[in-house]
């Protein structure tokens, strides 16, 4: 029993230290960009990590958690007692929409009007106004989800017109590369956001969130830097 208790304390300390280090890096990036720290929301990405880790990161001060898969959140969320906003940051299949609307406060990965309309119908049936973001494929990669850049503006306007949805901003996952190589993609998404008059920019992960903040990110999605390597 004592051994398991010590392991639990050690894991809590690891997560607390990871979160503190990320918070320090966010603050430094905001300072470099002459932005208030309050402009950037940190989503702690808990995919593949157990519910106990979610509890620990919330206890350490995190307020938002992100999951890639609806089914993982469905299994994990009932085990988490701490209050949080839950974000879906992975691709949403149409047959998972009902669970997604029930489980998540924010869905980052709307990429078609068909998906948006299905989310809207489910949200309406549940008496909920669902917060969503439009995922844009700024890297123009055929294997990745996301609306095409050329179609994103029109799609955003159609999504915004759905009364049971609240479109707040744009999200992207750029191509793999060095952090500085991500800057043009982040800058492009920021320009699109500005043109559409939206508020949020969900961009930047463990390896590149500082560059994303410098280019205007309002939401960064960080897992490994907080929780350590995934098994």
Query: What pLDDT digit, counting tens, does each position of 193-216 carry?
Result: 999 999 999 999 999 999 999 999
- Give CA–CA dist 231/223, Å, rounded: 13
Taking only the tens place, the pLDDT of each residue in 33-71 is: 999 999 999 999 999 999 999 999 999 999 999 999 999
Tell me what pLDDT residue 6 has: 53
Q: Write down the pTM of the prediction.
A: 0.94
3-state SS of the chain: helix, strand, coil percent to 5? 50, 15, 30
pLDDT computed for residue 4 by the predictor: 44
CB 66 within 8 A of CB 43: yes
The architecture in CATH of the region 2-227 reads Alpha-Beta Barrel (3.20)
In this prediction, residue 145 carries a pLDDT of 86
From residue 197, give the alpha-carbon distance in Å to each of 117, 153, 173, 192.
Answer: 21, 11, 21, 9
Q: Phi, psi at residue 134, to the nearest 5°?
A: -100, 120
């Amino acid at each position: 029993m004592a051994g398991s208790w010590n392991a639990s304390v050690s894991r809590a300390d690891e997560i607390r230290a990871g979160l503190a280090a990320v918070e320090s890096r966010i603050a430094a990036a905001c300072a470099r960009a002459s932005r208030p720290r309050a402009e950037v929301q940190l989503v702690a990405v808990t995919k593949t990590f157990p519910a106990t880790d979610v509890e620990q990161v919330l206890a350490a001060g995190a307020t938002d958690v992100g999951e890639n898969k609806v089914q993982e959140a469905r299994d994990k969320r009932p085990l988490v007692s701490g209050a949080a906003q839950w974000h879906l940051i992975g691709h949403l299949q149409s047959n998972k929409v009902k669970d997604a609307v029930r489980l998540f406060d924010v869905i980052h990965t709307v990429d078609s009007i068909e998906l948006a309309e299905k989310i809207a119908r489910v949200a309406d049936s549940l008496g909920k106004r669902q917060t969503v973001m439009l995922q844009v494929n700024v890297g123009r990669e055929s294997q990745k989800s996301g609306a095409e850049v050329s179609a994103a503006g029109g799609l955003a306007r159609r999504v915004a017109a759905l009364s049971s949805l609240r479109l707040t901003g744009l999200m992207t996952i750029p191509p793999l590369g060095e952090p500085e190589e991500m800057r043009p993609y982040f800058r492009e998404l920021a320009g699109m956001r500005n043109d559409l008059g939206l508020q949020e920019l969900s961009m930047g992960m463990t390896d590149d969130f500082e560059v994303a903040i410098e280019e205007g990110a309002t939401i960064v999605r960080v897992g490994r830097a907080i929780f350590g390597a995934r098994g």
